[in-house]
């Protein structure tokens, strides 16, 4: 079974065509919103794995911690040539609707087995007194 090295959430992942190096832009663990439900236009999820051998099905599932409802899920595949290899995966997710504030969990599963988890928070931003709008 592959071992998880990293599970990161960011705004954008850029890959250099010459070197294949990736740049993660705008890492975050929380989103601020003025109202609920809110739609987040897009985010990228970076996953790094090692110690696998062969091919595996993988999936990222995002759930609200208390309500347990699935907010989104993304499926993919990962292949290893040998267990010493480090494999990096990128998942781009668009138009995510968060219905509740609070704590959500991103769970990365390989062949149905949880390998890594990470929290993301949706924070309801209160309007400042005397201001009619908010960002």
- What is the residue extent of each domain of the chain? 3-124
Backbone φ, ψ for residue 112 (5° rounding): 80, 0
Q: pLDDT at position 135, please?
A: 41
> What pLDDT digit, counting tens, does each position of 66-115 carry?
988 999 999 999 999 999 999 999 999 999 999 999 999 999 999 999 99
Average pLDDT, the chain: 93
pLDDT classification of 50: cutoffs 50, 70, 90: very high
Residue of 100, 106, 94, 104 whose CA lies nearest to 44: 94
Look at the domain 3-124 and name its fold: Immunoglobulin-like (2.60.40)
Q: Would you say residue 5 has pLDDT above 80?
A: yes
Of 14 and 134, the one with more pLDDT: 14
How far apart CA 102 and CA 34 sit, in angstroms, is 14
For residue 107 the two structure tokens come to 């769970």
Q: pLDDT at position 82, please?
A: 95
The owner of tokens 């998880």 is 4
Of 101 and 127, the one with more pLDDT: 101
Please compute the mean of the pLDDT values over residues 34-42 and round it to a whole number.
95
């Amino acid at each position: 079974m592959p071992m998880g090295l990293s599970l990161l959430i960011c705004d954008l992942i850029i890959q250099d065509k010459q070197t294949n190096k990736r740049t993660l832009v705008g890492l975050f663990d929380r989103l601020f919103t003025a109202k609920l439900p809110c739609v987040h236009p897009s985010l990228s999820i970076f996953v790094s794995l090692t110690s696998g051998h062969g091919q595996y099905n993988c999936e990222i599932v995002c759930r609200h911690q208390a309500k347990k409802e699935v907010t989104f899920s993304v499926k993919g595949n990962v292949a290893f040539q040998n267990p010493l290899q480090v494999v990096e995966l990128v998942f781009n997710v668009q138009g995510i609707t968060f219905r509740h504030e609070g704590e959500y969990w991103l769970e990365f599963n390989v062949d149905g087995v949880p390998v890594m988890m990470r929290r993301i928070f949706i924070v309801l931003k209160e309007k400042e007194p005397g201001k009619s709008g908010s960002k």
